[in-house]
């Protein structure tokens, strides 16, 4: 399922989408350093948000309109990364999250930015912690 299909699906089911953007970390312990190396990924995330929410007068909103959906989609939540708690380089997510958070909030202050784990330096609007524990451990919590 591509982005446009996902957005139509959410719209058809009267659900709000959560847009997850790649934050420079893969499960094979490959990560992109914050700063200039991460900037293309931040730009891609901003372009994706513009595709979803931009008016038809914007570059990516015009592309969405050309793709058949002239009106912007509703978007309230953007999740930065996924499964970042598996990153064995301590503190790696903090810098990457901060760079995305700052860029998203600068252009789209109304959006709620979700972190996938606790971070230092920025206060995410929401934390989507992923728990991988057995049922007994969860029941004991």
pLDDT of 26: 76
Q: Which helix (H) or strand (E) holds 58?
A: none
Q: What is the pLDDT confidence band of residue 134, given thresholds at 50, 70 and 90?
A: confident
How many Cα atoms occupy the beta-carbon half-sphere of 59 within 13 Å?
A: 5
Please state the rounded mean pLDDT for residues 124-132. Answer: 85
- Give the mean pLDDT of 112-128: 93
- Where is mean pLDDT largest: 1-5, 8-12, 127-131? 8-12
Q: What is the pLDDT of residue 33?
A: 87
Rounded to whole angstroms, the Cα distance separating 34 from 95 reads 6
More confident call, 20 vs 29 = 20
pLDDT digits (tens, 9 = 90+) for 65-92: 999 999 999 999 999 987 766 666 666 8
The DSSP string of 84-116 is GGG--STTHHHHHHHHHHHHHHHH-TTSEEEES
34/51 Cα distance (integer angstroms): 24
Beta-bridge mates of residue 112: 77
Residue 11 pLDDT greater than 80, yes or no? yes
pLDDT score, position 96: 92
* 24-68 pLDDT per residue, tens: 877 677 788 899 999 999 999 999 999 999 999 999 999 999 999
């Amino acid at each position: 399922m591509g982005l446009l299909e996902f957005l139509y699906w959410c719209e058809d089911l009267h659900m709000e989408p959560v847009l997850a953007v790649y934050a420079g970390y893969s499960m094979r312990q490959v990560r992109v350093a914050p700063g200039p190396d991460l900037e293309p990924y931040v730009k891609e995330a901003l372009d994706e948000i513009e595709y979803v929410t931009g008016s038809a007068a914007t570059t990516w909103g015009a592309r969405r309109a050309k793709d058949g959906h002239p009106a912007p989609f509703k978007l309230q939540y953007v999740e930065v990364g996924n499964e970042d708690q598996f990153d064995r380089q301590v503190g790696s997510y903090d810098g990457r999250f901060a760079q995305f958070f700052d860029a998203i909030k600068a252009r789209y202050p109304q959006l709620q930015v979700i972190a996938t784990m606790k971070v230092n330096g920025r206060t995410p609007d929401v934390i989507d912690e992923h728990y991988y524990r057995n049922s007994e451990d969860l029941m004991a919590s």
